[in-house]
Amino acid sequence: MKVAIIGQGYVGLTISVFASKENTVIGFDNSEKLVVELNSGKSHIEGVSSEALSLAIKNGNYHATTSGQDISDADIIVIAVPTPLNKDRKPDLSYIEAACLTIATYVKKRVLIINESTSFPGTIRNFIKPLIEKLSKNNFEHLYAISPERVDPGRVDWDQKNTPRLYAGLTSEASKMTRDFYTSFCDNLIEVSSPEVAEAAKLFENTFRQVNIALVNEFAQISNALGISVHEILDAANTKPYGFMKFNPSAGVGGHCIPVDPTYLAYVASKKGIPATFIERANEVNLEMPKYVVNRVEGENSGSLTGKRVQVIGVAYKPNVADTRETPAELLIKELKLRGAKVTWHDDVVGDWQGEKSSALGGSQIAIVVTLHDSIDKRLVLESAPYVFDTTGKVVGAKGL
Ligand SMILES: NC(=O)c1ccc[n+]([C@@H]2O[C@H](COP(=O)([O-])OP(=O)(O)OC[C@H]3O[C@@H](n4cnc5c(N)ncnc54)[C@H](O)[C@@H]3O)[C@@H](O)[C@H]2O)c1
């Protein structure tokens, strides 16, 4: 099969490299710089090694492009573009729209179109299909399917091969072709009765995480007020062999999924007149965490941060990735600056962020750990400042949640 994958980011590149083992993959992206980098065999994401990418290129099974012409004779098109929130924190489908325009303009035969971008139920049936049909000058009766992506960047135990994958086509022919495609690199495919079930399942998976993270973040505040260690309580509760799943408190949530996807669910709920109160409150609790952390740090440092040198350690949204999208470190730094602190940050995995380079570890009066990469020495973190506040629960001897 010739497979065109639109969007070569965390999702698209990961799929591209797996799919290139048994298919010819064209990685379409509108970033010229990224396409040049990929064609030189350089991967820009964790979880896809440059060696694996180079091998796919060497075998003639992968090339990246910005040219729509290159996807014109593909058999399968996978959409893997961002689905963020707009400035009013509502679903922004403009990237999907642009991908539909590319498909409608360049595809020259009947193809299978699979959406892997996360969106609300009904996106493939009521948005992507009609839009491609409207924009297309041809009357191809394309096949449409959904297979939501579950990739967890940086994770090595669960990957494309062993993570079960949901899928559903708009027709049985689309479902069958979708199954055949993913079977080439995924061991466990689960067909559901409609694309809407798959789309909603993806949103609910991430909402489940968002709400539970908010719950444990609220619980961390209650535990602190009660003078009991939240980590010890969680470890104790986690000895129950059933009916409990441990989530850890943190400075908040980040990335492209947990702070965003639940709002897609809340959006469709509101369209149906159903209040998504858990989702909304969970968003609030998670977004308030950086402020709570700063309040704690300020309270434990004679009630003022004015003029104090504070270093934030770890600005990626989670360990071992360079991804800073929606990172709680951003809100935390903003709050520290509002209170007059002189803020630096250290994160060797991220390196460059918001036009600044990672500073050397240490040299501040206060250190706040937001994310702890495996590569960082916890002992050096503890020694990096006279006062260290750890939001991860991993730096023994530090103050923390
Ligand atoms: N990152 C994750 O862990 C993850 C996990 C599951 C699902 N998802 C979902 O997958 C989708 C993609 O997320 P991602 O993390 O891979 O995003 P990303 O930002 O890493 O990559 C998106 C890529 O698409 C490109 N792009 C944007 N518009 C384009 C267009 N019109 N044509 C061609 N290329 C275009 C960008 O240049 C970028 O390289 C989102 O819907 C996201 O919610 C992400």
- Report the 3 state secondary structure along 31-84: CHHHHHHHHCCCCCCCCCCHHHHHHHHHCCCEEEECCHHHHCCCCEEEECCCCC
The region, left, alpha or beta by phi > 0 then psi within -120 to 50, assigned to residue 142 is beta
Ligand 1 centroid to residue 2 C-alpha, Å = 21
Q: Ligand 1, atom 37: nearest CA belongs to which residue?
A: 31
Q: Are the C-beta atoms of 64 and 8 separated by less than 8 Å?
A: yes
Catalytic residue among 257, 276, 305, 331: 257
Report the atom number in ligand 1 closest to the C-alpha of 325.
Answer: 19
For the chain, the straight-line distance linking the first and the last C-alpha, in angstroms and rounded, comes to 51
CA distance 368 to 312: 5
Ligand 1 centroid to residue 182 C-alpha, Å = 19
Q: Ligand 1, atom 43: nearest CA belongs to which residue?
A: 118
Residue 89: the pLDDT is 86
> CA distances (Å), 44 to each of 30, 54, 56, 227, 321, in order?
15, 13, 15, 44, 11
Give the β-pairing of 24-28 and 2-6.
parallel
Ligand 1 centroid to residue 176 C-alpha, Å = 25
- Expressed in percent and rounded to 5, the helix, strand and coil fractions of the chain are 40, 15, 45
The DSSP element (H or E) to which 176 belongs, if any, is helix 172-183
Does ligand 1 lie within 6 Å of residue 118's CB atom? yes
What does the CA dihedral 119, 123, 129, 130 come to, rounded to 10 degrees?
A: -130
- Is 257 annotated as catalytic? yes
| Mean pLDDT, rounded, for 34-47 | 95
Burial class from Cβ neighbours inside 10 Å (0-12, 13-18, 19+) for residue 56 reads: buried
Does ligand 1 lie within 6 Å of residue 343's CB atom? no
Report the atom number in ligand 1 closest to the C-alpha of 45.
Answer: 20
Q: Ligand 1, atom 36: nearest CA belongs to which residue?
A: 7
Tokens encoding 154: 């940086």
Q: Are the C-beta atoms of 146 and 109 separated by less than 8 Å?
A: no
Spatial CA neighbour of 381 closest among 205, 391, 368, 393? 368
The DSSP element (H or E) to which 191 belongs, if any, is strand 189-191
pLDDT(253) > 90: yes
What's the whole-model pTM score?
0.93
Taking only the tens place, the pLDDT of each residue in 191-237 is 999 999 999 999 999 999 999 999 999 999 999 999 999 999 999 99
For the chain, what is the mean pLDDT? Answer: 96
Q: Ligand 1, atom 41: nearest CA belongs to which residue?
A: 117
Report the atom number in ligand 1 closest to the C-alpha of 34.
Answer: 39
What does the CA dihedral 255, 260, 265, 268 come to, rounded to 10 degrees?
A: -150
Residue among 5, 16, 29 to mutate when testing ligand 1 (max atoms within 8 A of CB): 29
CA distance 299 to 223: 17
Ligand 1 centroid to residue 93 C-alpha, Å = 12
Report the atom number in ligand 1 closest to the C-alpha of 31.
Answer: 37
Taking only the tens place, the pLDDT of each residue in 104-158 is 999 999 999 999 999 999 999 999 999 999 999 888 999 999 999 998 877 889 9
Residue 320: the pLDDT is 92
- The type of residue at 336 is L
Q: Ligand 1, atom 1: nearest CA belongs to which residue?
A: 10
Q: Are the C-beta atoms of 319 and 372 separated by less than 8 Å?
A: yes
Residue 154: the pLDDT is 76
Instruction: Name the pLDDT band for 5 (thresholds 50, 70, 90).
Output: very high
Residue 47: the pLDDT is 84
Residues 6+ apart with CB under 8 A from 379: none
Residue among 10, 15, 204 to mutate when testing ligand 1 (max atoms within 8 A of CB): 10
Does ligand 1 lie within 6 Å of residue 8's CB atom? yes
Ligand 1 centroid to residue 342 C-alpha, Å = 34
What does the CA dihedral 318, 323, 329, 330 come to, rounded to 10 degrees?
A: -160
Instruction: Name the pLDDT band for 182 (thresholds 50, 70, 90).
Output: very high
Spatial CA neighbour of 129 closest among 67, 174, 81? 174
Residue 324: the pLDDT is 96
Burial class from Cβ neighbours inside 10 Å (0-12, 13-18, 19+) for residue 23 reads: buried
Look up residue 396 and give its DSSP letter: T
Q: Ligand 1, atom 25: nearest CA belongs to which residue?
A: 7
Paired strand residues for 168? 146
Q: Ligand 1, atom 21: nearest CA belongs to which residue?
A: 9
pLDDT(401) > 80: yes
